Amino acid sequence: MFTGAMVALITPFQDGEIDFKTLDELIEFQLENGIDGIAPAGTTGESPTLSNEEHKKLIERVVKTVSGAVPVIAGAGSNSTAEAIELAAFAKKAGADATLQVDPYYNKPTQEGFYQHFKAIAEEVDLPVVLYDIPGRCGAGMTAETIIRLSKIENIVAVKEATGSLDHASQIATGCDLTIVSGDDSLTLPIASIGGKGVISVVANIVPADVKAMTDLILEGDFSSARQWHNKLFALSKNLLQMATNPIPLKAAMAMLDMASDEMRLPMTALDESKKVILEKILSDYGLLD
């Protein structure tokens, strides 16, 4: 279920509120372009600045709009285990197919703390769990040994690997049978080389068909052809996401492409005007702007 091209969906805002009309349009765009799964309310979806009520409304709306066409992997993580359980329980009630559970941020738990956190969520809510290991955003991350230990819990089914380390991914791949998906667009193909099965992608917000073309070839075992897509997507992925913290440049790009507003919630701020010229060239070089 959790393989191929899955999009880490933005949360569009308009005048400080979630723009549900645009959200529906973005989901339809993804479905029309053959996306394999939709992951709302994650890092790209600015979940830290969503209220609990907004978070739930967002999950509910995405599940309703997707209407079973593809799996919905609802971001339901928190640095409070009790809150993560609450959000996961709501996601199950709303009809999500799985939850995406990020490393508890700010707390910097021990490895035993990570284990007990995810174990409690998985045992409390009967819904598949995709672990989201992204130490660069959370202040701490899991060792491969902790992830392998967690893999023994029945409904922990996959890991979104965003450590940037192929050695780390390789340790997981050789130590358990969790489905591994990339959490970094530029590393989707390299991670596939050690057993990865796809990506929860940022750039798929704007080029879902291209990301899917690559992951389809990966799943078919045609790495030579997949490498051609990797080479095309690489510059877009790296240049876009190195400009500023995600999703700042992504939202700026989507505004340039008339897909969504670039509105952010503090403490996130819009892309610097000086960088927009560079961004326009990145998009133009890829063929997205005339």
Residue positions annotated with a catalytic role: 132, 160
Cis peptide before 247 (omega within 30 of 0): yes
For the chain, give the secondary structure using H, E and C.
Answer: CCCEEEEECCCCEECCEECHHHHHHHHHHHHHCCCCEEECCCCCCCHHHCCHHHHHHHHHHHHHHHCCCCCEEEECCCCCHHHHHHHHHHHHHHCCCEEEEECCCCCCCCHHHHHHHHHHHHHHCCCCEEEEECHHHHCCCCCHHHHHHHCCCCCEEEEEECCCCHHHHHHHHHHCCCEEEECCHHHHHHHHCCCCCEEEECHHHCCHHHHHHHHHHHHHCCHHHHHHHHHHHHHHHHHHHHCCCCCHHHHHHHHHCCCCCCCCCCCCCCCCHHHHHHHHHHHHHHCCCC
User: Could you give the CA distance from residue 245 to residue 213 in angstroms, rounded to a whole number?
Assistant: 26
Strand 17-18 with 13-14, pairing? antiparallel
Query: Residue 276 contacts by C-beta under 8 Å, 6 or more apart in sequence?
Result: 252, 256
- Residue 46's CB is within 10 A of a number of other CB atoms, namely 20
Residue 1 near residue 128, CB atoms below 8 Å = yes
Residue type at position 218 = I
